[in-house]
Amino acid sequence: MSLAVLDALDSARTQWYHFTAIVIAGMGFFTDAYDLFCISTVSKLLGRLYYFDPSSKKPGKLPLNVNNFVIGVALVGTLCGQLFFGWLGDKVGRKKVYGFTLVLMVFCALCSGLSFGSTAHSVMTTLCFFRFWLGFGIGGDYPLSATIMSEYANKRTRGAFIAAVFAMQGVGIVFAGMVSMLVSKMFLSYTGKTPTYNENRVLSTQPEADFMWRIVLMIGAVPAALTYYWRMKMPETGRYTALIEGNAKQAASDMARVLDIEIQAEQEKLSQFKASNEYSLTSNEFIQRHGKHLIGTMSTWFLLDIAFYSQNLTQKDIFPAIGLVPAEADMDALSEVYKTSKAMFVIALFGTFPGYWFTVYFIEKIGRFKIQLVGFLMMSVFMLVIGIKYNYLKHENHMLFALLYGLTFFFANFGPNSTTFVLPAELFPTRVRSTCHALSAAAGKAGAMVGAFGIQSYTVNGEEGKIRTAMKILAVTNMLGFFCTFLVTETKGRSLEEISGEDDRENELTPTPSARVTVPRNGSHVESM
């Protein structure tokens, strides 16, 4: 059974509206990544400012539990937001929820920079409070952006379009390092030469640094605010309007306007289509049809994020340990932010960023399954080498360490970090697509919390033995992800309804030869398979 509005979406030529949707949805991910990762560039500065001990030979440092909460509380909020907004997106509509998540992100990014209090405890408490709700808003962007893009795209380029939305995460990570680097450099120019901690423990932390970290966090509100209007202008997806609301006429009207073609409403046929796909997420039918896939998407995203977030959030601790950044006592506060951000920026620009766009280019050529397998395998190999040869790399060959470390980022992004986002948006039926993506993404954030609260405790003090152990643990984690990938299937080149079995073609690799003719407004005809 096939519907004209779905055929039109699957066979539509790629046009400007698709790229507009990528930018609108992608800017949400740009903001998400910036907000989640910019905290790593300033967390050491928070320790210098609020936990200074003049009797210590080392600069102030966030206590381990405080450090873990400052870094990880947004991840907790993200997990909660993914589950709540993912479920809500299936119940009330993708568009209705989409704008609220953006407003929440803007408000909480601003409030994070305005964290108030007269003591270290009060400042950290208010910072963690607002970052939790910032993460809550960010969480909604994951299932909604993926679902909206998958339901708008045609089947030939769907994977590339969803991957392009997610690739904006890479841009956000690059900007997190770049903005922190530029803002700290501006403050350094203003404050002039400042003694290092070894030279003067009190004067090494500039008072102006308290403004610097707040500005970095607040800048995260800007890109989200800029896209709010355009996000609200997007119509509800045709698949939601037709297959969940059951309004064939509205779905045909909305998508005809977007695609600039005439589409037949087919209300009676839609009713039959809906009646055959009414099973719920907890039903035996769903478990039989999609249970293995859901376990696959959840397990692979969980295992991937243990490694991915451990890499990103622990860079600030690993860089000084291997000598890429000077020892903390040999720098003043703002110089430490500048040099740490610069190292993170270089790794992100040459390691993290290219991987995302390799996925965009190759995902429809190679397929999701192979990219994910190779990515997990290569990450495991490089992390195992770093873990085994850590002492040599630290003392004898910093450049080789940087290369291997950068390659783990490259194959994370030209690999499972991208594909674990794409697959849940394609594998599941329309009525539970947002919820299933949310469950998969939430499993990922559970893995990220393992990285933030667990793996980070191995690296925070820069001890060689513990860093080696952490890298070996991550190598094993990635190998488990390699094997769990076999629980999912390839989705390349098939319609969403064919993949999910909603049109009773679950086991076919290609559509049936029957074609439907739609008539564009210019009078020519387009065949939809």
User: In the structure, what pLDDT confidence band is assigned to residue 475 with cuts at 50, 70 and 90?
Assistant: very high
Residue 511 has pLDDT above 60, yes or no: no
Spatial distance between the Cα atoms of 380 and 376, rounded to a whole number of angstroms: 6
Q: What is the DSSP string of 207-242?
A: TTHHHHHHHHHHTTHHHHHHTHHHHHHSPPPHHIII
Residue 431: DSSP 8-state: G
pLDDT, tens digit, 9 for 90 and up, residues 414-429: 999 999 999 999 999 9
Residue 43 has pLDDT above 60, yes or no: yes
Q: Give the residue from 297, 335, 496 showing the smallest Cα distance to 343.
A: 335
What is the average per-residue pLDDT within 271-295?
Answer: 84
What is the average per-residue pLDDT within 207-234?
Answer: 90
Please give the backbone phi and psi of residue 261, each rounded to the nearest 5 degrees, phi first.
-140, 165
Q: What is the DSSP string of 122-147?
A: HHHHHHHHHHHHHHHHHHHHHHHHHH
pLDDT, tens digit, 9 for 90 and up, residues 481-500: 999 999 999 999 888 988 88
**Quick one: pLDDT at residue 280?**
82
Helix axes 353-366, 158-191, angle to 10 degrees: 180
Positive or negative: CA dihedral 195, 197, 199, 203: positive
Burial-class residue 218 by CB neighbours within 10 Å (0-12, 13-18, 19+).
middle
Q: What percent of the chain has pLDDT over 90?
A: 47
**Quick one: pLDDT at residue 299?**
97
Structure token digits, residue 504: 């009773």
**Quick one: pLDDT at residue 526?**
39
Instruction: Tell me if residue 248 falls in helix, strand or coil.
Output: helix
CA atoms within 13 A on the CB side of 79: 17
Residue 451: DSSP 8-state: I
Q: Mean pLDDT score of the chain, rounded to an integer?
A: 85
Spatial distance between the Cα atoms of 29 and 101, rounded to a whole number of angstroms: 12
Alpha-carbon dihedral 374, 377, 379, 383, rounded to 10 degrees: -160
**Quick one: pLDDT at residue 519?**
39
Q: Are 57 and 329 in contact (CB under 8 A)?
A: yes
Residue 275 has pLDDT above 80, yes or no: no
Residue 510 has pLDDT above 60, yes or no: no
pLDDT, tens digit, 9 for 90 and up, residues 453-468: 787 777 766 677 888 8
**Quick one: pLDDT at residue 276?**
67
Structure token digits, residue 121: 């405890």
**Quick one: pLDDT at residue 261?**
65
Q: Which residue has the tokens 């993404």?
A: 441
Residue 335 has pLDDT above 70, yes or no: yes
pLDDT, tens digit, 9 for 90 and up, residues 90-106: 999 888 888 889 899 99
**Quick one: pLDDT at residue 134?**
94
Q: Are 177 and 342 in contact (CB under 8 A)?
A: yes
**Quick one: pLDDT at residue 94?**
87
**Quick one: pLDDT at residue 394?**
77
In degrees, rounded to 5, the angle at the alpha carbon of residue 440 between the alpha carbons of residues 434 and 442 is 95
User: In the structure, what pLDDT confidence band is assigned to residue 322 with cuts at 50, 70 and 90?
Assistant: low
Residue 505 has pLDDT above 80, yes or no: no
**Quick one: pLDDT at residue 308?**
85
What is the identity of the amino acid at 34? Answer: Y
> Chain-centre distance of CA 119, in angstroms?
33
**Quick one: pLDDT at residue 4?**
73
**Quick one: pLDDT at residue 123?**
94
Positive or negative: CA dihedral 495, 497, 499, 505: negative
Spatial distance between the Cα atoms of 401 and 387, rounded to a whole number of angstroms: 11
**Quick one: pLDDT at residue 411?**
94
Residue 32 has pLDDT above 60, yes or no: yes
Please give the backbone phi and psi of residue 14, each rounded to the nearest 5 degrees, phi first.
-70, 125
pLDDT, tens digit, 9 for 90 and up, residues 372-382: 999 999 999 99
What is the identity of the amino acid at 448? Answer: A
Report field, pTM of the whole predicted structure over 0.75: yes
**Quick one: pLDDT at residue 504?**
65
Q: Are 54 and 114 in contact (CB under 8 A)?
A: no
Instruction: Tell me if residue 388 falls in helix, strand or coil.
Output: helix
User: In the structure, what pLDDT confidence band is assigned to residue 442 with cuts at 50, 70 and 90?
Assistant: very high
In degrees, rounded to 5, the angle at the alpha carbon of residue 455 between the alpha carbons of residues 451 and 461 is 130
Residue 14: DSSP 8-state: P
Q: Give the residue from 478, 464, 334, 477 showing the smallest Cα distance to 411.
A: 478
Residue 24 has pLDDT above 80, yes or no: yes
Spatial distance between the Cα atoms of 459 and 346, rounded to a whole number of angstroms: 20
SS (HEC) of 146-187: HHHHHHHCCCCCHHHHHHHHHHHHHHHHHHHHHHHHHHHHHH
pLDDT, tens digit, 9 for 90 and up, residues 117-133: 879 999 999 999 999 99
Q: Are 352 and 425 in contact (CB under 8 A)?
A: no
User: In the structure, what pLDDT confidence band is assigned to residue 264 with cuts at 50, 70 and 90?
Assistant: low
Residue 20 has pLDDT above 60, yes or no: yes
**Quick one: pLDDT at residue 248?**
78
Residue 198 has pLDDT above 60, yes or no: yes
